[in-house]
Amino acid sequence: MNHELIAEYLANTKSPVQLVKHLDEVIDKHKTYPMAAQVKHDGVYCLAVVIGGVVKLYGRTGLKLFWQADDVMICGTKDDQIANYNRDPHLKDGVYIGEFCNAKYTLEQLSGFLNPNRKKEWEDEDFDQLMSMSDIYMHDYLTFDELLGGHSERPYIERHKLLSKRMYQANLSSWVIPYQLVFSAEEADEFAQRVIDKGGEGAVIKRLDCDWVSGHKGYRAMKIVRGVSLDLLCTGVLFGKGKRAGQIAALEFEFKGNKFKADLGKGWTDERRAVLTNHYESRDLFENTNPVGKIWEVKALQVSSTGKALRLPKVVRVRWDKDEPDA
């Protein structure tokens, strides 16, 4: 096996990874308890492909994540951190699936650093922070044949057991996301709420007996998150008034056949608004700058009683790692 073959497959395969669906959207007959409940880490989706100690990182759509060093090294140092070496004799070959996280940066900033389309190199300070203080919290493991075949027959309980064993052997157990058994929908909600109460995003609930299928979005992996978080297709922009005149103030989306606007949420500084506006206004001059037609993460308080509208929606970030909206 070689990295070139893996990269070619991922780049040319639609939906090469298994996806997560909101628990409430999965019909009850597919929720077979007990299930595994895990903390949902709010990071960038990451496939870490390890071959002969050399590690390459890929995003949800199969594109290689931007990484300034020649190779990524996942090593079991005393701090269990990423280091910029190119060999690791301990972490065995395979495909390790997780979330790339960094406590210093917001998710939007981290997504920007790792964007496969990024051209600008990191600043020295960011380089040091990303190389020394990042974590990849792993939750699943595949063999190369399973990844390339788009299917693993092994149930999740076996895949997680093998993941834990290999990470332990590499002195990286702190990166494995453990699971707790939940025996009912109530226990799943309680688990997620405890995570949320501690400031986390929520929980991922998985059936222990399920296989892994690329492109599947449903009962194999389900999430419970604080509020509502959806990835939606942007259909237009709205400019502001008053002090926001001349700048984009909101984006337009479609949700279950209904059009609505979502204001730019917390964290959208004047500088970021100006950049977004400039990207929109220069859309005819530069490729891939138009926010319209891209998928954006939108967070809201809740879905309305009709099920066709979002309450207090806010734009969070562009999802360059996704090519299909949630609804």
Nearest to 228 by CA among 307, 310, 306: 310
One CATH from 3.30.460.10, 3.40.50.300, 3.90.1150.10, 3.30.470.30 for 3-225:
3.30.470.30
Where does the pLDDT of residue 83 fall: very low under 50, low under 70, confident under 90, or very high at 90 and above? very low
CA distance 169 to 162: 11
Helical residues (DSSP H) of the chain, grouped into ranges? 3-11, 107-114, 124-132, 144-149, 156-169, 185-197, 270-281
Structure tokens at 113: 């650093």
Say what the pLDDT of residue 73 is. Answer: 52
Reply yes or no on whether the pLDDT at 74 is more than 70: no
Mean pLDDT value of segment 148-158? 97
| Residues 53-73 pLDDT 10s | 889 999 999 999 988 665 555
What's CA 51's distance to the chain center, in Å?
23
Q: What is the CATH number of domain 228-318?
A: 2.40.50.140
Tens digits of residue pLDDT in 200-255: 889 999 999 999 999 999 999 999 987 888 999 999 999 998 888 899 999 999 88
Q: Is the pLDDT of residue 78 over 90?
A: no
- Residue 147 structure tokens: 């990844």
pLDDT score recorded for residue 131: 82
pTM: 0.73
C-alpha 89/C-alpha 188 separation (Å) is 39
CA dihedral 134, 139, 143, 147 (to 10 degrees): -90
CA distance 39 to 54: 28
Domains of the chain, residue spans? 3-225, 228-318
Q: Averaging pLDDT over each range in 96-105, 110-119, 127-136, 145-154, which range is the top one?
A: 145-154
Which residue in this structure is represented by tokens 């390790």?
96
